[in-house]
Amino acid sequence: MKIYVTGLGVVSGIGLGVEENIASLRNHQHGMGKVTLFPTELDVPVSEVKYSNEELKRLLSLDIQKTFSRTALLGMSAAKEAIDDARLDAASLRTGFISSTSVGGMDLSEHFYTSFKKDNRKGRLREVISHDCGASTELIADYLKVNDFVTTISTACSSAANAIMLGARMIRSGQLDAAIVGGTDALCKFTLNGFNSLMILDKEHCRPFDISRAGLNLGEGAGYIVLQSEKSLRKEAYCLLSGYSNVNEAFHQTGSSPEGNGPFWSMTEAIGQSNIPREEIDYINVHGTGTPSNDLSEGLAIRRIFGEKVPAFSSVKAFIGHTLGASEGIEAVYSVLSVYHGFIYPNLNFRKPAEETGLIPETSFRKGLSIRNVLSNSFGFGGNDSSLLFSTLKDK
């Protein structure tokens, strides 16, 4: 059974909605800046969504007085755009909502703790109930009026890719007609301090795949795509989800093996499942966080698969930051647009390749290309590595 992509929705540090995101990518306008969402002593660049929670509530026509985590608000914005784009009538189809997140409602938990640690009789308990990852999913599903199947996936940075895979499998098995799939994550103190403790935050603008790369920049946002079976289509689809794979090499709690075994396996299996020759892959949206170990591991895996004939590739992390559980939700949207419009995105801040791989990413925005297949990678903590393959509808 073919799985069609029919709807796209995204919010990130470079824009609210698909059009704003593409305009920023085209114009090389990144979203990096200082942290403004909460007080911190860390002076590192992040990519924040340029709307307050109150502004997001107004845009979503929500009660300003009601409590929502920022994760839920970002997810509502992107998921609503995806449903509208797909012209999806969730009431007439067996529709699922599969969302991913890493931090859940931790922004509210942190706000609660500020009062609670001063006096354990204080603090708004309604902020605590949003802490669980599933809370944001339930709020978004209620907002969308989707209730046939609702679940949450949290596998660190590969979360959204795994949500997309689960939706595809459920459609293929006949359990759903359509699925809204992707992820959402908001910046909070816990994530910023946690990544700082791992010593992988770059104090400057990150430089994926550059020899001078020194770490990642964090970001926030949400991205969802709508998957449908052929019989449920109401509009022309963007492309096919033709292959996917998730592996877990369990090499280390926070990293992939130096040889890139996990990335090699996930990419190889996704390509194999699609039955598409590897030479027909025209672009790779790499995970490309900008850390020395990640880019080397992914680069070596790409060399193992493609040899000297590496397709065009780039990382968008220098635009939007590493958005954790939302990462592949946002980048799946970009990958689908790459297939549909022939886009290739610039890898900002690249100057010189690493000696170990010699790989040189694309550094300018290109459009109108004949792109048949796009491979999109997302690799999480614990070696939980996922790859998706999106393919053109032409000649399919």
In a domain, 76, yes or no: yes
Q: If you average pLDDT over residues 180-208, what whole number do you get?
A: 96
pLDDT digits (tens, 9 = 90+) for 290-316: 999 999 999 999 999 999 999 999 999
For the chain, give the mean pLDDT. Answer: 93
DSSP 157: B
Q: Is 215 within 8 Å of 197 (Cβ atoms)?
A: no
Q: What is the mean pLDDT of residues 189-194?
A: 94
Residue 111 lies in a domain: yes
Using CB atoms within 10 Å of the CB of residue 275, give its burial: 0 to 12 exposed, 13 to 18 middle, 19+ buried. exposed
| CA–CA dist 59, 65 (Å, integer) | 14
Which is more confidently placed, 380 or 229? Answer: 229
Q: Where are the beta strands (DSSP E) in 48-185?
A: 95-100, 149-153, 178-185
86 in any annotated domain: yes
Placement of tokens 């109401």 in the chain:
234
Mean pLDDT of 366-380: 95
DSSP sequence for 56-91 = HHHHTT--TTS---HHHHHHHHHHHHHHHHHT--TT
How big is the chain by its Cα radius of gyration, in Å? 20
| Res 128: pLDDT | 75
Residue 250: per-residue pLDDT: 78
User: What are 324-353's pLDDT values in tens digits?
Assistant: 999 999 999 999 999 999 999 999 999 999
The answer to the question of residue 396 being in a domain is no
390: left (phi over 0), alpha (psi -120 to 50) or beta: beta
pLDDT tens-digit map of 117-174: 665 666 576 667 787 889 999 999 999 999 999 999 999 889 999 999 999 999 999 9
Mean predicted confidence (pLDDT) in 364-370 = 97
The CATH number assigned to the domain holding 384 equals: 3.40.47.10
Is residue 115 one of the residues assigned to a domain? yes
Q: How far is CA 369 from CA 234, 247, 273, 312, 396, in A?
A: 27, 31, 25, 11, 18
How many CB atoms within 10 Å of residue 219? Answer: 28
Residue 212 pLDDT greater than 70, yes or no: yes
Domain count, the chain: 1
Crossing angle of helices 261-274 and 292-306, rounded to 10°:
40
Query: Does residue 101 lie in a domain region?
Result: yes
396 pLDDT more than 50: no
With 80 as the cut, is the pLDDT of residue 115 above it? no
Q: Take residue 155 and report the two structure tokens written for it.
A: 């596998």
As a whole-number percent, the residues of the chain with pLDDT over 90 amount to 84
The Cα 314–Cα 316 span in angstroms is 7
pLDDT for the residue numbered 113: 64
Which of 348, 347, 344 minimizes the C-alpha distance to 374?
344
Number of other CB atoms surrounding residue 35 within 10 Å? 17
| Chain segment 41-71, per-residue pLDDT in tens | 999 999 999 999 999 999 999 999 999 999 9
pLDDT the model gives residue 122: 61
Q: For residue 277, what are the contacts with CB-CB under 8 A and spacing of at least 6?
A: none
- Per-residue pLDDT of 256-275, as tens digits, reads 777 889 899 999 999 999 99
The pLDDT value recorded for residue 112 is: 62
Is residue 100 within 8 Å of 159, Cβ to Cβ? Answer: yes
**Shortest CA distance to 89 belongs to which of 193, 232, 200, 286?**
232
Please report the pLDDT score of residue 154 as a whole number: 93
Identify the pLDDT of residue 35.
97
Reply yes or no on whether the pLDDT at 278 is more than 70.
Answer: yes
Helices and strands: H and E segment counts in the chain? 12, 14
CA 220 to chain centre: 10
How confident is the model over 79-103, as a mean pLDDT?
96
Query: Please, which residues have CB within 8 angstroms of residue 370's CB and are 6 or more apart in sequence?
Result: 282, 342
Structural domain boundaries enclosing 242: 4-391
- Check residue 109 and give its pLDDT: 80
pLDDT, average across residues 204-218: 97
- Structural domain contains residue 374: yes
